Structure 1
């Protein structure tokens, strides 16, 4: 009986410790960007450069920091079963306007290779839903990205 009580209290203490598998906000955003980049199974240099550029700008990071974050993000992206652990980090720390900006960044990655694959659009829609964006906000970010791409 004492063994079970000790196990119970040990489990409570372990549960109250910060989780080691919690990812930083930068890595969570990087994973979401990588998910869009990886969606069509064509990792173009233009998409990879766009993701790095967006991370540098969004988080004021150095190229070295971005390289480290992207290495972790790609691994997490390859092994992730869903987007929830990443979008929950974003939801917890970002305002609605900042979440809309993240979706805008996702569109920029999708258009970086010059074409929008339907799977990229599908993934962005799923992420936008998990970020609690209204459909009108999702569409506005898409239209903005399209018009930016068409002007180039």
Structure 2
């Protein structure tokens, strides 16, 4: 009789572990952490040198859903991301921020968000996979964890039975 309660409790615990509104210490997400995640999502969308509407929409949707970011905040993050991406020292700092502030479960969640952006247009390009593998290394995640992140993203983004085209 306790099985459904135990199952629900496990689901709630998993959601708490992977939620991005708090960092691993329980501190609310600040603009530095939001910017770091926004930059990662932007990095993957730039991989094919062609930011499509589907990818852009996915990034906006992710920021709104994960951080309750409104249009103004997302616009400000985009401007900060542009300024930050031009400075190599600042770009390198994003990985340190993510490693210091996020648990492994949260980093897997971030990588699944990266996969959501990759899958948004239904195409998986070699250039995107190369960037994803680089991000996976920087986030200190394994190939297996990358595959898990991709499966999570596919379940969220792709219609049932749809297979993305690999280029």
Aligned length: 130
CA separation of 1:104/1:40 partners in 2, compared to 1, >3 Å: closer, same or farther?
same
Residue segments in structure 1 that go unaligned for 5+ positions in a row: 1-22
- Any gaps of 5 or more consecutive residues in structure 2? 1-30, 163-167
Q: Normalized against structure 2, the TM-score is what? A: 0.70
Q: 1:78 Cα shift?
A: 4.9
Aligned equivalent of 1:7: none
In the alignment, the residues of structure 1 paired with residue 89 and residue 123 of structure 2 have an alpha-carbon distance, to the nearest angstrom, of 26
What's the TM-score, normalizing by structure 1? 0.76
Q: C-alpha separation between the residues in 1 aligned to 2:62 and 2:151?
A: 19
State the Cα distance separating 1:81 from its structure 2 match: 7.6
Aligned match of 2:141: 133
Higher percent of residues as helix: 1
Structure 2: distance between partners of 1:51 and 1:79: 22
CA RMSD of aligned residues (A): 2.1
Flag the structure with larger Rg.
1
2:74 matches 1:74:
no
**Which residue, out of 56, 59, 63, partners 2:64?**
56
Q: Which of 85, 94, 103 is residue 93 of structure 2 equivalent to?
A: 85
1:100, 1:141 within 8 Å by CA — same for their partners in 2?
A: yes
Alpha-carbon distance between aligned partners in 2 of 1:30 and 1:76, rounded to the nearest angstrom = 11
Matches within 5 A, 1:24-39: 24-39=32-47
Q: 1:81 to 1:36 in 2, by over 3 A?
A: farther
Instruction: Give the distance between the partners of 1:75 and 1:38, measured in 2 at CA.
Output: 15
Post-superposition offset of 1:46: 1.1
| 1:20-60 per-position Cα deviation (integer Å, ceiling 9, x unaligned) | xxx81111110100000111011111111110111111222
2:132 aligns to what? 124
